[in-house]
Structure 1
Amino acid sequence: MRFKKQKRHRRTVRFFSVNFGFRQPFKVLCDGTFVHHLLHNDLTPADKALSNCLSAPVKLFTTSCVLAELKKLGAAQSASYQAARKLAVARCDHEKKVSADACIEDVVGENNFEHFFVATQDADLRKKLQKVPNVPLIFGLRNALFLEQESKFQRDFVKSSEEKRLHLTEKEYKALEKRITSVSANADDEYLVDDEGLGCHNPGLQPHNTRNYSGKERDVKDRVRFKRKRAKGPNPLSVKKKKSRENPNRASGKEVKADDGNAESKRKRKRSRKGKTLAGTDVAV
């Protein structure tokens, strides 16, 4: 249950931060009823209890009218008065002191420029402030603090403001029309006749520099021309040297010649003459 409550509080804080620009540390404007509730339920120190509720650092404020109202209540609220005096005092500009709820309504105003979180136990005051678009409300229940979810009025206000941002205002629309007429008049005067003297139709708005000219005819270069990178040869220091190859024909020729000589030498045989006889004699030598 506690985890769901913290998740709901973070979502509400994100809603006001994104749509209305609330920033940390958050300013919390406390009235007398809320200070009394903190003391009665031992939710002290107050800044720590509120920072745990909002999951962010906080600064506590009150008004001089709230202090005057607590002082009038006498001894019954003396502890609350002493605790409220320790808080920072927000400027309310009331010469004559008014009630605390009226003072807080005036400080918040219609736009809540100071981005105050209002902490109060007054149910009627919370209902009134729910009609102000950017006022988050804090209240206490026993020993726990709660941040009210954004009201339906606040959600509708954010939705309508987002839709308005998507459309042009009357002032912007008139300025756009004036610009269109001036540009179209200049374009008609400049491009009414082409180079051959023939009439040309200028449909709508055309920028001044959108005529179809080739790049050579323009005096000013439209594009920056970069030098095209071309493929380069390999690094000569990283290339191996080519090995010189011997002529295979020469080597083979030598071998052939050598082989032929061997063959011839082998073919020549020395014959023994033991069996030969001298001519004219029958005796063998």
Structure 2
Amino acid sequence: MRVKKQKRHRKIVRFYTACYGFRPPFKVLCDGTFVHHLLVNRITPADDALSNVLGSPVKLFTTSCVLAELKNLGRSVSESLDAAQQLLTARCNHENRKRADACILELISENNPEHFFVATQEYDLRKKSLEMPGVPVIYALRNALLLEPPSAIQRAFVKTSEEERSHMNEKEYEMLKKKMKSTLTNEEQNGAFNEGLVDQNLQVQAMTKTRTARKGIDIKDKVQFKRKKAKGPNPLSCLKKKNRENRNSVQVKEKNDENDSVRSRGRKRKRSRGHRKSGESEG
């Protein structure tokens, strides 16, 4: 269940960061009921617990009106008063102290410009803050901290704002009109000059055509590429195959003829006649 809860919280935080511009470290505006609940259920340290819920570092805030309300409650809430005094104080600029919920609603009015996460245990404050666009709500349930999903009002506000961005405003429409008028006046001023240039270009083209016609050169407007013709088969591949037996027999004959010629060309042995002469002299 913890994994599912973390995924759900990440999805909600991603919605507020993408659609309303929330950026870490996130600011959490705590009232007295939330601080008291954290101390009673021993959810400490509070900044670590809230950073685990939102998945990013956190800064905890409260208001002077919340502190004044805790003081009026007496000694029973003295520990929660000491814990609230350690938090950062957001400026509410109320000379006459108001109720804590009214003070917080004024701070988050006008689409929550300071990007506060409202942490409270009061049901009415949670409901009213969810009706305002761009106000995420955190509450505690025993030992667990939960992040409220965005309401239908907040999602509808996002859709309408996206549609307005896609269309032009009145100022943008007027700017576009002025640009169109300026371009049209420039085109009219340059129209005469452009007509003169066109006439000159036509004359130059006529002169070049006459010169090329005299020389007999044909000018073509478009480049004509040579079409590839179908080639015939390779003539070497069409030759008949030679028989290997005749080839071998011819090679054998050539070798025999060569051997015979080598034998016939051998040196003749010369006989010496000195033996005969020696025999005749002895006789």
Give the TM-score of the pair, scaled to structure 2: 0.70
Q: Determine the C-alpha separation between the residues in 2 that align with 1:105 and 1:84.
A: 19
- Residue in structure 1 matched with residue 270 of structure 2 by the alignment: 269
Question: Residue 83 of structure 1 aligns with which residue?
Answer: 83
Return the structure number with greater helix share.
2
Equivalence for 2:191: 191
CA distance in 2, matches of 1:41, 1:20: 32
After TM superposition, what 4+ stretches of structure 1 lie above 3 angstroms from structure 2? 267-276
Q: Which moved more, 1:91-100 or 1:71-80?
A: 71-80
Given residue 107 of structure 1, which amino acid in structure 2 is its aligned partner?
L
Larger deviation: 183-192 or 39-48? 183-192
Match of 1:195, as an amino acid? L
1:47 to partner: Cα distance:
1.2
Specify the alignment match of 1:118 in structure 2. Answer: 118
For 2:270, the aligned partner's letter is R
Paired-residue identity, %:
55
Give, as a single letter, the amino acid of the residue that structure 2 aligns with 1:111.
Answer: N
Name 1:24's counterpart in structure 2: 24
1:46-57 paired onto structure 2 within 5 Å? 46-57=46-57
- 2:42 maps to which residue? 42
How many equivalent residue pairs?
Answer: 217
- Contact in 2 for aligned 1:65/1:100 (Cα 8 Å): yes
Q: CA deviation at 1:269?
A: 3.4
2:16 maps to a residue whose letter is: F
Letter aligned with residue 141 of structure 1:
L
Residue in 2 aligned with 1:60? 60
Aligned residue in 2 for 1:156? 156
Cα shift at 1:270: 4.0
Aligned counterparts of 2:186 and 2:76: Cα–Cα separation in 1: 80
Distance 1:139 1:157 in 2: 23
1:196/1:13 Cα in 2 relative to 1: closer, same or farther (>3 Å)? closer
Partner of 2:8: 8
Is the partner of 2:197 in helix, strand or coil? coil
Backbone CA RMSD of aligned residues: 2.5
The whole-number CA distance in structure 2 between the counterparts of 1:106 and 1:165 is 27
For the residues of structure 2 that align with 1:196 and 1:152, how far apart are their CA atoms? 63
Residues 275 and 284 of structure 1 are in contact (CA less than 8 Å); yes or no, is this contact kept in structure 2? no
Q: Deviations for 1:165-220, whole angstroms, at most 9, x for unmatched residues?
A: 2222121121112111211221122134242549xxxxxxxxxxxxxxxxxxxxxx
Alpha-carbon offset, residue 9 of structure 1: 0.5
Q: How does 1:222-237 map to 2 (within 5 A)?
A: none
1:190–1:104 distance in 2 versus 1, CA, 3 Å = same
Give the Å deviation of 1:76: 2.1
Task: Indicate the SS of the match to 1:195.
Answer: helix
- Shift in Å, 1:106: 1.1
Gap runs ≥5 in structure 1: 199-259, 277-282
Per-residue deviation, residues 15-60 of structure 1 (Å, max 9, x unmatched): 1112222111111100011111111211122112211211221111
- AA of the residue aligned to 1:269: K
Go from structure 1 to structure 2 and tell me whether the alpha carbon gap of 1:196 and 1:67 turns closer, same or farther (over 3 Å shift): closer
Letter in 2 for 1:101: D
1:274 Cα deviation (Å)? 7.0
